[in-house]
A and B are shown apart, each in its own frame.
Chain A
Amino acid sequence: MLHIIKNRLLKGIVTTPIDLKSLGKENLVDWRVETVGLELKKIIRKKFCRSLHIREVDTGSCGACESEIIATTNPFYDIQRFGINFVASPRHADALLVTGPVSKNMALALKKTYDAMPEPKFVITLGDCALNGGIFKDAYYVEKGVKNILPVACHVPGCPPEPFEIIQALLAFLKKS
């Protein structure tokens, strides 16, 4: 236990603004996670009574998108401090986050998950294959994107989008709507 406390103190707070310069991205984005996130927090406070709950469904992605979504919850980005939570049940969710090109085997499960969500609800797609099938659009076992099955409100592009891009895209969407 003492060891953990010592470690915790030595490590300090890692969720400081990310130094985008060292990532070589200073030209691409000039916001820092903090500024983006604080803005996001304000909007979520206003529109979703402090918390936006998201249920994630994978319909055939390669797994990289999931990895990046999980990364948004790591101490580095810590999306939860801005009021965004990933929930276990569709019954608790305000939004459905879908990745993957929708394989034939997942089409029904996706519909059922959506139906299990309470109104009002909206769908966010994440990653290039969720948009139109992406690299898999010519494969025989895919439905070529989520929009053929559910109404999609927002899309986060990328293959896969980086955690920071996910946070940014969510902000842009929430601001607009």
Chain B
Amino acid sequence: MDYKTFLQELQDRHALIFLSVAENYNDEIYLSVRSDDFKKTCVCLHKLLHSPVAVFFAQDSRREKNAFVIYCTFMSAKYKKWFFVSTEIAADKAILDSLAREIYSSSLFEREVREMFGIEFSGSPDARSLRLHEEVWPRRSFPLRKDFQNKPTKDIEKAEYNFNKVDGEGILEVPVGPVHAGIIAPGHFRFSVAGEPIINLEIRLGFKHKGIEKLFEGKNVFEAIKISERISGDSSFAHSLAYTQAIEKICGIIVTESLSAQRAICLELERMYNHANDMGGIALDVGFSFPAALASLIKEEILQLNEKLTGSRFLRGVNEVGTTRLKLDEGKKKVLLAALKKISKDFGEIKKILLSSASFMDRVDGTGVLKKKTAEDFGVVGLAARASGIAADLRKDFSGIYTQFNFNPAKEATGDVLARLNIRIFEVEESIRLIEEFINIHHTASDKRLTQPELKEGFALGYVEAWRGPVLYWIKIDENGLIERCKVVDPSFHNWQGLSYCVLGDIIPDFPLCNKSFDLSYSGNDL
């Protein structure tokens, strides 16, 4: 069954009414519905496609249509398409039925849209603010509205964030953060413990919120690549790649095989240094310092390799719209292959040391279990999802350079710290194999950097499987070639909730271990 039959079936059997159906760029389908039908349509697609909400965002179109446009996006690996359900809601009556009770993965997105645009969701289970903390931000100020003016206000109504409370005899609350004990980003964790086991963990984030989505607006397309590279430093390349892919789609640039290969090499290098870092981090959090030191050496080796190949340790400034600055000549290929050989050997050693240590295995085996059902409900993505038995990987789900080389996605079922460690080990081995394949693709010098006059008006989704999971960029370019709206979703945004559930029943000293096994980005989440 192809997607057209599927759409027909939606209309015939499920009685959904579409105001319009548009297919853009082979992989995006836009279904426009009346605001009353929005919830029904989303719930139907959610169930039929078995997809959590991938992106849910709003756009301020009050100037053109006197309305806000809401998009809710689902991914289908079966049809290899992204389904966007969109609706318009009148500016003077900005209220919509909440999806969160039926589709839990939309909950955080709804809270985000509510505080950024002032759109209310009736029947929402959680209407607290997400990133604009009550203590410092005036309540009726909505940053992503087009008429928002950034004026300092003194009259902030003092409000307090209400943490979920666990009552009962002997329940102890342990607040941690925002400033933590290591060299690590800020976030607030509130544990409720009964004796030793954790019975609730609430994570309050947003401490690193800067207002990046607003910062994108009105920016020159080429200059804004820099911003995308600084959303999450450890995924600089993946973010800039998703960004440039969206722009390339809008402008109709066909990405050559050699360009895809060069980019994929960088993407895998980024994956490898982060996986090495996390393997070391997991070892360090159980006090096993030798493999941790070895892992930090591998990370340093890869960062120095990155610098030799591209001039940047974090692969910044490599991506450009239409091309890449990485040009692998014979000399660089040799350097890369030699480094891979060494890295591969060192990885083998770490793997052997970790997996043969009984005390290490005792700490990671069965700790921090994230059940498949919980992961599905929260829309957990990427590495963490694969560890819990969800077979999802954009490298496999959409055809491209990876599927040509028989990319083999990692899969585990137990969902514990060990499973997430095993996924990393598997993926590093696969990355090394892939780079060795990609390196042989003949380099053609046909791709050119896009210039300002070639820019087109339009919107598109860029998506990349970064090392944590899918990084998504929905970008709209206006008639002047400037960015009108840029919605960014880092995989961390979905996965933080998974972390807060996987620790239940474990003890607080296991929390750092669970946290490191997810290793989520604070800045990617907070934007």
Q: Which residues of A contact B (CB under 8 A)?
A: 3-4, 7-8, 11, 14, 22-24, 56-71, 74-76, 86, 88-90, 100-101, 103-109, 113, 135-136, 138-142, 159-160, 162
Contacts and interface: CB of A to CB of B under 8 A. Distances in A.
A121 B148 CA distance: 40
B208 to A, nearest CB: 4
B307 interface: yes
B300 A4 contact: no
B43 interface: no
Interface stretch (B224-232, B394-402, B509-517): B224-232
Contact of B208 (A14, A64, A103, A135): A103
Given A58-B208, A63-B522, A140-B150, A160 B314 contact: yes
Contacts of A107: 136
A61 to B, nearest CB: 7
Given A24-B308, A86-B182, A140-B148, 4 more contacts: A57-B186, A63-B185, A66-B185, A104-B136
Contact of B313 (A22, A109, A139, A162): A162
A74 B214 contact: no
B236 A136 contact: no
B304 A71 contact: no
Contact of A58 (B131, B135, B186, B313): B186
B349 interface: yes
A145 B370 CA distance: 39
Interface of B: 131-133, 135-137, 143, 148, 150, 178-179, 181-186, 206-212, 214-215, 226-227, 230-234, 236, 277, 290, 293-294, 296-297, 299-300, 303-304, 307-308, 313-314, 349, 352-353, 356, 521-523, 526
A8 B297 CA distance: 13
B181 A89 contact: yes
A61 B233 contact: yes
B185 A8 contact: no
Nearest to A74: B296
B411 to A, nearest CB: 28
Given A60-B207, A67-B234, A109-B179, A75 B184 contact: no
A105 B521 contact: no
B295 to A, nearest CB: 9
Contact of B215 (A57, A59, A139): A139
A74 B179 contact: no
Contacts of A103: 207-210, 526
A120 B221 CA distance: 47
A60 B523 contact: yes
B522 A136 contact: no
A75 B179 contact: no
B356 A105 contact: no
Pick from A60, A105, A159, A160 the residue with the most CB of B within 10 Å: A105
A75 B183 contact: no
B391 to A, nearest CB: 29
A58 B211 CA distance: 17
A108 B227 CA distance: 26
Contacts of A68: 313
Contact of A109 (B207, B215, B521): B207
A8 B290 contact: yes
A50 B303 CA distance: 31
17 contacts: A3-B356, A22-B308, A23-B304, A60-B208, A61-B208, A62-B231, A63-B185, A104-B137, A105-B206, A106-B186, A106-B207, A107-B136, A135-B227, A135-B230, A139-B210, A139-B214, A141-B209
Contacts of A86: 182-183
A34 to B, nearest CB: 17
Contacts of B133: 104-105
A16 to B, nearest CB: 13
Pick from A14, A24, A103, A108 the residue with the most CB of B within 10 Å: A103
Contact of A23 (B137, B178, B308, B522): B308
Given A7-B349, A64-B234, A140-B214, A75 B356 contact: no
A141 B207 contact: no
Pick from B132, B208, B303, B526 the residue with the most CB of A within 10 Å: B208
A113 B207 CA distance: 15
A90 B181 CA distance: 9
A56 to B, nearest CB: 5
User: Which 6 residue pairs spanning A and B have beta carbons closest together?
Assistant: A64-B233, A88-B181, A63-B233, A62-B233, A74-B296, A139-B211
A125 to B, nearest CB: 15
Contacts of B523: 60-63
Given A7-B349, A71-B300, A140 B211 contact: yes
A66 B293 contact: no
A69 B183 contact: yes
A126 to B, nearest CB: 11
Given A62-B231, A104-B136, A56 B207 contact: no
A111 B51 CA distance: 44
Contacts of A162: 313
A135 to B, nearest CB: 6
B262 to A, nearest CB: 20
Contacts of B303: 71
Contacts of B233: 61-67, 160
A74 B226 CA distance: 28
Contacts of B234: 63-64, 67
A63 B232 contact: yes
Contact of A7 (B137, B150, B212, B294): B294
B226 A135 contact: yes
Given A7-B353, A64-B314, A88 B182 contact: yes
Contacts of B182: 86, 88
